[in-house]
Amino acid sequence: MGRFIECCCTSVDEVLEAIAGGASRIELCERLEVGGVTPSVELIEKVMSVSTLPVNVLVRPRGGDFFFNEEERLQMIEDINLCKNLGVNGVVIGALDGDGNIDVDLMQSLMLEAKPLSVTFHRAFDCCADPYRSIEDVIALGCDRLLTSGLAASAYEGRELISELVDMAGDRIIIMPGAGVRPSNIAALSQRTRALEYHGSAHSEHGITDRKVVSQLVDDSLQLL
C-alpha cells in the first residue's frame, strides 16, 4: 500500500488530478498565495459533485495572522455550518489568541458547530508560542488531526519537532506533516517522523496539482535521496 496523501487542491481540475494520482483525501481551499482561505460555495458544490474521495474544506476567512475578530469568528461558524449542509467529510480550522496560544474559547465554539465532521487543526499551529503546550490544547479540544510543518518553513526542515509531536501524540491525534512535502523528501520525512498521513499540493513545474507528482508521493517504494 502507498502512503496516505491528503492533496491540497484549489479547483475541480486539481481534484481530478489528485484522484487520478492515487490521493487518499482532498483538502479544498482557494488563494494558496496567502496560505489558503475558505473556497467559494460554488467550488465546494462542484467538487462534491465529482470527487470520489473524502473532501475536507479549509475554513479561514482571510490570509495573515490567526487572531480573529468577532465578525470573522461569526463568519467561520457560518462557513462550517454551510460545509455541513453541503455534505463534506471535514473542516480544517485553527485560531490563536494574542499571545500565540491556541484560542481555546473560539475553537470550542467551532468544534461544537463542526460536529460530527472530521476536524483538522491547520498550520496556525506553526505560529504558536509553545508547541508542547499547544499540542495538548489541540488534543483536548478533540481535533482528529494536526497539520504542521514543525514550526519551520517546510515539514522536512521541521522533521525533528514533528517526530517529537508524533511521539507525544501517540494514538490521541494524527500528526500530518505538511508544507514543502515533495517526492524528493517524503521518504526521508516518513522515515524520520513515522507519521501516518502527509499533506501536499503535489504541484508540477506548471504550478498546479499533477497526477504524476501525486503518484510519486503515494509510492512507498521511493528510495531515500
Tens-digit pLDDT profile for residues 95-131: 999 999 999 999 999 999 999 999 999 999 999 999 9
Per-residue model confidence (pLDDT) at position 223: 43
When pLDDT is cut at 50, 70 and 90, the band that residue 146 belongs to is very high
Q: Over the chain, what is the mean pLDDT?
A: 96
Instruction: Please count the other Cβ atoms lying within 10 Å of the Cβ belonging to residue 65.
Output: 12
Percent of the chain surpassing pLDDT 90: 96
Per-residue model confidence (pLDDT) at position 220: 74
Span 197-215, mean pLDDT? 96
Residues 6+ apart with CB under 8 A from 70: none
Per-residue model confidence (pLDDT) at position 96: 98
Span 72-89, mean pLDDT? 97
Question: Can you give the pTM of this predicted structure?
Answer: 0.95
Span 152-177, mean pLDDT? 98
Per-residue model confidence (pLDDT) at position 55: 98
Per-residue model confidence (pLDDT) at position 1: 65
| Max Cα–Cα distance, the chain, nearest Å | 49
Span 65-84, mean pLDDT? 97
DSSP 8-state class, residue 33: G
pLDDT at 33 over 70: yes
Distance (Å, rounded) from C-alpha 195 to C-alpha 18?
A: 20
Long-range contacts of residues 114-119, Cβ cutoff 8 Å, at least 24 apart: 114/80, 114/84, 114/90, 117/80, 117/83, 117/84, 117/88, 117/89, 117/90, 117/91, 118/54, 118/56, 118/89, 118/90, 118/91, 118/144, 118/145, 119/90, 119/91, 119/92, 119/93, 119/143, 119/144, 119/145
Percent of the chain surpassing pLDDT 70: 97
